[in-house]
Amino acid sequence: MDYRVIKENDLFLLTDESGNITENHQYGLGLYAKDTRFLNKLNIKINGEDPVLLSSKADENYMATILLTNPHMENDEEVILWRESVEIQRKRFINKGILYEALKFKNYSPKLITFSITVEVDADFKDMFIVRGFQTGNVGKRTGQVVNDKSLIFTYQGTDNLSPETYISWDKAPSKITETGEITFNFTLEHAQEEEVVLTIRPQMGEEDKNQIIPMHDALNELKNSYKLWESSTTNVKTDHKTLQRLITRGLSDIRVLLTDVGYGPFPVAGLPWYGVLFGRDSLITALQMLPFNPEVAKGTLRTLAVYQGKENNPWRDEQPGKIMHEIRYGELANTNQIPFTPYYGTVDATPLFLILLTEYVKWTGDFELLHDLQANVEAAFTWINEYGDRDGDLFVEYHQESSKGIANQGWKDSGDAVVHRNGEFAKSPIALAEVQGYVYQAKMGIASLYQAVNKQAEAKLLIEEAAHLKEKFDEQFWMEDLSFYAIALDQNKEKVSTITSNPGHVLLSEMLDEDKADKVATMLLSEKMYSGYGIRTMGEDEAAYNPISYHDGSIWPHDNSLILLGLSKIGKQQEANKVMHGLMRAAEHFEYDRLPELFCGYSATLGQPVKYPVACSPHAWAAATPLTFIQSLLQLFPNSPSEEIHLNPCLLDDMNELNVQGMNIGKGILSITVKKEEGETFVTIDENTTGYTVVSSSEFQLIHR
């Protein structure tokens, strides 16, 4: 990454590698909250000059540490400050809506030195959509600043009648402060002497946002303790496979920093820097990937999305009753209805994914109370699927953009060129996507199984019948006999969009496909056409629209691969799933901090290393959670609360001999297991099982109950 980002709850800081917020940077650097930029400048200078970057560390998501030093400073042959005399350390983190930054200075010169440090700050309060160049609009204006010895406050009056402020304070008396945002501190240091100044920056929308500023040390301890609590409540994994171990550790850390809570429980935002808000599809899939590690994330995601479920027909927001939202924004353009993200509902898959996550959450936890609490949301979701999603009564759920400022393609591949015929023509909506039909089938079968468990037999029977009809129609309309694969979609004329893509791979997880066709789908996905050596491409080589550097037409998305490999595991194709994992792990070794990005280019692994996609988000939630799905896949672990069973059939990677999984929350308690390979045999030890579920396994390994 050529940027540094830290986040806590809904506040995040995006800087360059030196820790500065500079103007006209390609990423729109700044301090953001509620889709508003509360700082558009945060630079430090030593004696009026830019420091020299030594190192920039961001492996701890909640804190960034940056080391700099001074350049050589000389005037008329008089040395003002010898090069590398001063070590400058910038350490920053966010807690309870406040950015803390400690600037520490150490004298490595053998003599006494004197120098000045100037902190340059400014705030433009721009809406994120304007910063990113996506929109223009009618906006407010800066109303001035308030300056005193201890603080500087920038103020703004928005067209949404909100008056955001940026409150900046410090703990050392400055020698000079200007209304234009230059705060200067003088230092005189003996050899090896250290001194620091602590800045606190608090974005605020009103009196209710004015969190108390506590000492930096206390704030950091609070933050660290919250991470310790996260670690203690999350499944612990140990393995002798070093790459996988690093990926699991990184993924869990990244997910923690991406969690946000707006009052209904924690949920993952989509990714940083630009998607630090609730996203229907992204948040749901990430929570689904997280189930073996922390099911509370799924619960918080479901409860939060239930609050925003569609209530009315509103074409401006692509909203219909029962529909699960796509994306919510809180900035000035949204607040004044200049963009439809309040929230925006232009997604075709979030509604069935909501039902799938609820099903899987209950299967893992046995928490039927949540099913009861969300019963009205479940019914509304099925109403949307059957009456609004299926626009023409052909059993397929389709999408079509109504909003003038909405999204044209409304599946997970939402770029404008993502659904394209083999002749290169873009498909026209309404469009029925292959994976969405799989999601709907899985949602109906899953909720039916829960209904059977709570004695709603009539409702369950109806859902099962609807799912059976959908399966039959899907095979009839989407299967391409000449290509032995499924079409990505049907267009407005019900013509197959026959380009070979990864989309049908998601249908494996739904278990909607007959065995022979599932075999053919798996074969295609692992063929050289689709599998690069680093993962499964979004589109096959040699297709008319194939482009390895495109966003959706040939690139590799880790989360796309994760859903496919879970499906492969579920239908018993574990060797194929393991091959996908191997590819992704090979790729991850080439990215900073072993962090799988949102996506990367689809070039063959024969190039020697994966090619980065220029503007991929990192960390990105469903990419961060992708390695977590490896554990469920390797264990072939699929709990089922209605039957109170845990299906377990471990198959470790070839270069892996041990996997220890402790404290998995299932049913009424936890499951802890150890899998070992010794001399060609696999031994599975149940270290602890307080779940109330029975472990059901194949006879291909020795099962030991401790």
Encode pLDDT of 282-318 as tens digits.
999 999 999 999 999 999 999 999 999 999 999 999 9
What is the predicted pLDDT for the residue at 593?
87
Q: At 122, is the pLDDT very low, low, confident or very high (cuts 50, 70, 90)?
A: very high
HSE-CB at 460 with a 13 A cutoff on CA atoms is 12
Asked whether residue 683 falls in the same domain as residue 562, the answer is: no
Residue with tokens 């109504």: 402
Residues 358 and 371 sit within 8 Å (Cβ to Cβ):
yes
Q: Is the pLDDT of residue 209 over 60?
A: no
Which residues are CB-neighbours of 634 under 8 A, at least 6 positions away?
578, 581, 650, 651, 652, 653, 656, 659, 675
What is the distance of C-alpha 644 from the center of its chain? Answer: 31
Asked whether residue 207 falls in the same domain as residue 151, the answer is: yes
What is the predicted pLDDT for the residue at 705?
73
Asked whether residue 186 falls in the same domain as residue 154, the answer is: yes
Planar angle of CA 489, 494, 498, nearest 5 degrees: 40
What is the predicted pLDDT for the residue at 62?
84
Q: Final residue of a domain: which of 584, 617, 636?
A: 636
Residues 537 and 567 sit within 8 Å (Cβ to Cβ):
no
Q: Final residue of a domain: which of 577, 601, 636?
A: 636
* C-alpha pair distances (Å), 30 with each of 119, 273, 274: 15, 10, 11
Each residue's pLDDT tens digit, 472-518: 999 999 999 999 999 999 999 999 999 999 999 999 999 999 999 99
Residue with tokens 């409860």: 303
Q: How far apart are CA 540 and CA 420, in angstroms?
A: 12
pTM of the model: 0.95
Residue with tokens 């040395």: 79
Asked whether residue 465 falls in the same domain as residue 340, the answer is: yes
Residues 173 and 149 sit within 8 Å (Cβ to Cβ):
yes
Q: Are strands 681-689 and 669-678 parallel, antiparallel or unpaired?
A: antiparallel
Q: How far apart are CA 35 and CA 277, in angstroms?
A: 9
* C-alpha pair distances (Å), 124 with each of 31, 140, 177, 265, 591: 11, 10, 19, 32, 33
Q: Is the pLDDT of residue 24 over 80?
A: no
Asked whether residue 395 falls in the same domain as residue 304, the answer is: yes
Residues 465 and 487 sit within 8 Å (Cβ to Cβ):
no
Radius of gyration, alpha carbons of the chain: 27
How is residue 43 written in tokens? 């630079």
Average pLDDT, the chain: 95
What is the distance of C-alpha 680 from the center of its chain? Answer: 38
Planar angle of CA 670, 671, 676, nearest 5 degrees: 155
Residues 379 and 504 sit within 8 Å (Cβ to Cβ):
no
Q: How far apart are CA 392 and CA 395, in angstroms?
A: 8
Q: What share of the chain is helix, strand, coil (3-state, %, to 5)?
A: 30, 30, 40
Least Cα distance to 92 among 223, 239, 195, 265 occurs for 223
Asked whether residue 565 falls in the same domain as residue 435, the answer is: yes
Q: Which of 73-82, 121-130, 259-268, 533-542 has the lowest mean pLDDT?
A: 73-82
Torsion of CA 647, 653, 657, 660, to 10 degrees: -40
- Structural domain including 696 reads 645-705
Q: How far apart are CA 436 and CA 28, in angstroms?
A: 34
What is the predicted pLDDT for the residue at 1?
63
Q: How far apart are CA 474 and CA 512, in angstroms?
A: 9
3-class SS of residue 287? helix
The percentage of the chain sitting over the pLDDT mark of 70, rounded to a whole number, equals 98
Asked whether residue 594 falls in the same domain as residue 666, the answer is: no
HSE-CB at 348 with a 13 A cutoff on CA atoms is 33
How is residue 651 written in tokens? 């198959």
3-class SS of residue 196? strand
Q: How far apart are CA 521 and CA 499, in angstroms?
A: 14
Each residue's pLDDT tens digit, 390-437: 999 999 999 999 999 999 999 999 999 999 999 999 999 999 999 999
Q: How far apart are CA 580 and CA 293, in angstroms?
A: 21
HSE-CB at 356 with a 13 A cutoff on CA atoms is 28
More confident residue, 118 or 617: 118
Q: Is the pLDDT of residue 132 over 90?
A: no
Sign for the CA dihedral angle at 201, 205, 206, 212 comes to: negative
How is residue 4 written in tokens? 């540094």
Residue 214 belongs to domain with CATH number: 2.70.98.40
Q: Prior bond to 273 cis, omega within 30? A: yes
Q: Is the pLDDT of residue 326 over 80?
A: yes
Give kind and range of the element (H or E) at residue 182. Answer: strand 182-189
Phi-psi region of 367 (alpha: psi -120 to 50; beta: other; left: phi over 0): beta
* C-alpha pair distances (Å), 196 with each of 88, 104, 185, 203, 657: 9, 4, 10, 23, 49
Q: How far apart are CA 75 and CA 483, in angstroms?
A: 75
Each residue's pLDDT tens digit, 568-587: 999 999 999 999 999 999 99
Q: List, in sequence order, the alpha helices (H) in 326-402.
A: 332-335, 350-365, 368-373, 375-383
Q: Prior bond to 164 cis, omega within 30? A: no
Residue 328 has phi, psi (to 5 degrees) of -120, 140
What is the predicted pLDDT for the residue at 2?
75
What is the distance of C-alpha 501 from the center of its chain? Answer: 23
The three-state DSSP-derived secondary structure of 306-331 is HHCCCCCCEHHHCECCCCCCCECCCC
Asked whether residue 510 falls in the same domain as residue 618, the answer is: yes
Asked whether residue 237 falls in the same domain as residue 220, the answer is: no
Residue 50, exposed/middle/buried by CB under 10 A (0-12, 13-18, 19+)?
middle
State the total domains in the chain.
3
Each residue's pLDDT tens digit, 337-368: 999 999 999 999 999 999 999 999 999 999 99
Residue 209: other Cβ atoms inside 10 A: 15
What is the predicted pLDDT for the residue at 207?
59
Residue 122: other Cβ atoms inside 10 A: 18
Mean pLDDT of 528-553: 97
How is residue 599 written in tokens? 């996506």
Question: Position 27: which residue type?
Answer: Y
Residue 591 belongs to domain with CATH number: 1.50.10.10
Residues 202 and 167 sit within 8 Å (Cβ to Cβ):
yes
What is the predicted pLDDT for the residue at 643?
87
3-class SS of residue 389? helix
Each residue's pLDDT tens digit, 225-281: 999 999 999 999 999 999 999 999 999 999 999 999 999 999 999 998 889 999 999
Each residue's pLDDT tens digit, 665-702: 999 999 999 999 988 888 999 999 999 999 988 766 67
Asked whether residue 544 falls in the same domain as residue 596, the answer is: yes
Q: How far apart are CA 219 and CA 224, in angstroms?
A: 9
Q: Is the pLDDT of residue 208 over 70?
A: no
Q: Are strands 30-33 and 11-15 parallel, antiparallel or unpaired?
A: antiparallel
What is the predicted pLDDT for the residue at 220?
96
Q: Is the pLDDT of residue 629 over 80?
A: yes
Q: How far apart are CA 347 and CA 389, in angstroms?
A: 10
Q: Is the pLDDT of residue 550 over 90?
A: yes
Asked whether residue 247 falls in the same domain as residue 203, the answer is: no
Q: At 615, is the pLDDT very low, low, confident or very high (cuts 50, 70, 90)?
A: confident
Q: Final residue of a domain: which of 612, 636, 660?
A: 636
Asked whether residue 245 falls in the same domain as residue 129, the answer is: no
Mean pLDDT of 655-665: 97
Least Cα distance to 82 among 113, 56, 61 occurs for 113
Residue 413 has phi, psi (to 5 degrees) of -85, 90
Q: What does the DSSP assignment read for 514-574?
A: -HHHHHHHHHHHTSTTTB-SSSBBSB-TTSTT--TTSSSSS-B-HHHHHHHHHHHHHTT-H
